[in-house]
Amino acid sequence: VGSEMCIRDSLYDDQNIFAKILRSEIPNETVLETEFALAFNDIAPQAPVHVLVIPKGPYVCYDHLLSEGSSEEILGFNNAILQVIQKLELSPMDGNSGYRIISNAGVYGVQDVPHLHMHILSGRSLGRMIEKD
Ligand code: AMP
């Protein structure tokens, strides 16, 4: 039983581009790094602020981290998001103009890179949340 491969384990492709960034095989514009997460600028920004926050662990999407990650990893990932929001002075709680967080998952979410990432977007009004049909 112990040697049985969980289908969730086989979901993670360690050749994805963010895995390569975590291994320093390709460069990134780091915003901040913690024990549990890396935040860097999106290579094709869709707003004046477009930061991606990724966990260091091999998680495909947010529910993967939430279901399989340790409490430390889950807290560490969310804490890195908080640190980015604070560092870039985005929080409406501090009188700033706010931001949007998006995490695409799977086919309907139109996820391109199969390593969990939160998009943090700001710097202008971002319009309505999703396109109308
Ligand atoms: P998603 O469609 O949610 O999977 O988003 C993937 C994001 O990764 C896109 O916004 C891309 O512009 C971004 N991206 C792809 N390659 C890189 C890279 N090497 N460095 C930074 N961002 C990247």
Give the model confidence (pLDDT) of 75-131 as tens digits: 999 999 999 999 999 999 999 999 999 999 999 999 999 999 999 999 999 999 887
Q: Cα dist. 30→40, 57, 89, 126 in Å? A: 4, 17, 17, 23
Residue 102 backbone dihedrals phi, psi, to 5 degrees: -130, 135
Nearest C-alpha to atom 12 of ligand 1 is from which residue?
Answer: 44
Rounded CA separation 130/33 (Å): 30
Rounded CA separation 87/32 (Å): 9
Tokens, residue 97: 């103009």
- The reported pTM is 0.93
Among 29, 49, 52, 120, name the best residue to mutate to test ligand 1's pocket (greatest count of ligand atoms within 8 A of Cβ): 52
Q: How far is the CA of 43 from the centre of ligand 1 (A)?
A: 6
